Amino acid sequence: MKAYYHSEWFQLRMDMIAKGKAKPHILGHAHEDTTFLKFCTQDFMGGFRNAGCEVHYDEGTVKNQSIYRILAMIENLKPDMLFMVSHGRATYDWLPKELPILTYMQDTCGPLLVRPDLKDLIQPHDTYMCNMGVFRDYIIDKGIPRSQTARVPVPASPETFYPYTSETAVTDDSGRFSADIGFVRHSPEAGTPKAIHDAWCRDFFQKSPDGDILVRAFTMLFEDVTTGKYDESSEMAFRENLYKYLPNSQEIPPHMVDEINQLLRMWYITVYSQYWRTRFLYALDEAGMTLALWGNFWSKHPDFKIMDRGPVDRQTEAVHCFNQCKINLSINQETSMHQRPVECLLSGGFCLVATPKTDHDPIKNYYEIGKEIDVFSTTDECVDKCRYYLEHEDERVAIAKAGREKTLKYHTVNLAAKTFLEKSRKVLRESRGKLP
């Protein structure tokens, strides 16, 4: 493998790809952390294939074998580029330096999150495409050159998400997919936000020498948020509040500050995210509105198990939820523009999207509110708009149709893959002769 990537033939391949005279052979590797990383990787592999590239896909399902799996596939397939979602050379720093890495930043996780400096973990021909500007700024601040980054909002595949036709419609005799208001998202096994917070504290601080201090600080932050004392939604704002509850916070050494910030990131995406989502579900339930919840573990939730419709496979079943549910909710604590609205709109469904107070990528920048999609920011607004659109079917259907047309024009994975290839060719051209 080393000899091949050092060979004149491989350098000739890189020159041809950089000049647009050849399409790259791309190996897609899905890290095992979350199922969505695998789905997003699969979507992009389809986009690259539709753009004329030869592609292979490896689902890294066994953590302790992933190194050997990926090395064996590189040895056997000799790809021109390696593609990953939310991981990159920082996660696999043992990869050949000559092999360009394409990373789609859907989230900050793994070494990209915990390593303070990434400038020694990137090569001049690596490309990072980020779904949000905040992620792009994040990796640039860690040392990745701006010229090797770009933004592409998260896309979806029209081959996976499509509106029903006479040929594709599914008869739902069980009624599992039919609903007035629906939400597709897993529920944590711990259940309520308080239970999730307590479980998180046990997992992270049980054996920590400073565990009691940190548990107290995070618990006070949790109580501020859930009682309405602290009306914010951004991780940065939570960070400022958290340090108020840590004794002698001005004297905390830098390495401890990094560790606490990483813990806050994990608390934000594990604990706060669930509180943010379920507050809207509780409001709809209290208003007497009928909800359908698809995903793992809702059957175990003490308050929502009666609404459970069972898990859905994202690749084969989510499309039925979006087609048969009248109002599909999208609730994300960081951004209103992410994969769920795009998947729903491609399916021809009507999507009602939560807009957090600190919205890192507002959906209004991509869709016309009230014409192609609609949004809510408070629990009262969520309830009111659900009532309104259940009573105004014609308007709901017209918005869904316009939203699908906009999505097909700008937000399919086929378009995103072409943009990625154009950027990677530019990065590759500018990198020639710069490898150590």
Tens of pLDDT, residue by residue over 354-374, are: 999 888 899 999 999 999 999
Burial 156-166 (b: 16+ CB within 10 A, else e): bbbebbbbeee
Using a 10 angstrom Cβ sphere, with 0-12 exposed, 13-18 middle and 19 or more buried, the burial of residue 207 is exposed
Higher pLDDT pick, 244 / 373:
373
Considering the chain, tell me which residue range(s) the CATH 3.40.50.2300 domain(s) occupy.
Answer: 2-155+415-431
- Which of 78, 73, 77 shows the shortest CA–CA distance to 29? 73
Segment 175-204 shows an average pLDDT of 90
The dihedral through the CA atoms of 326, 338, 411, 58 has a sign that is: negative
Per-residue confidence band for 17, with pLDDT thresholds at 50, 70 and 90: very high
Measure the CA–CA gap between 192 and 429, rounded to whole angstroms. 52
CA distances, 32 to each of 61, 87, 153 (Å)? 5, 11, 23
Q: What are phi and psi of 94, to 5 degrees?
A: -95, 0
Q: State both tokens at 434.
A: 């710069």
Measure the CA–CA gap between 370 and 34, rounded to whole angstroms. 33
Contact (Cβ atoms closer than 8 angstroms) between residue 325 and residue 183: no
- Which of 416, 407, 423 shows the shortest CA–CA distance to 366? 407
Torsion of CA 386, 225, 138, 62, to 10 degrees: -80
The 8-class DSSP code of residue 56 comes to E
Contact (Cβ atoms closer than 8 angstroms) between residue 123 and residue 148: no
Tens of pLDDT, residue by residue over 141-150, are: 999 999 999 9
Among 60-74, 360-374, 388-402, where is mean pLDDT lowest?
60-74
Measure the CA–CA gap between 208 and 201, rounded to whole angstroms. 10
Tens of pLDDT, residue by residue over 333-353, are: 989 999 999 999 999 999 999
- The arrangement of secondary structure in 179-190+282-411, i.e. its CATH architecture, is 3-Layer(aba) Sandwich (3.40)
User: Is 2-155+415-431 a CATH 3.40.50.2300 domain?
Assistant: yes
Q: What are phi and psi of 102, to 5 degrees?
A: -105, 120
The 8-class DSSP code of residue 187 comes to P
Write out the DSSP string of 357-405: SS-SS-GGGTS-BTTTBEEE-SHHHHHHHHHHHHH-HHHHHHHHHHHHH
pTM for the model: 0.91
Measure the CA–CA gap between 82 and 24, rounded to whole angstroms. 10
Measure the CA–CA gap between 272 and 334, rounded to whole angstroms. 10
Among 28-42, 99-113, 207-221, 290-304, where is mean pLDDT lowest?
28-42
Flag whether pLDDT at 391 surpasses 90.
Answer: yes
Q: What are phi and psi of 364, to 5 degrees?
A: -65, -15
Helix, coil or strand: residue 328: strand
Considering the chain, tell me which residue range(s) the CATH 3.40.50.2000 domain(s) occupy.
Answer: 179-190+282-411
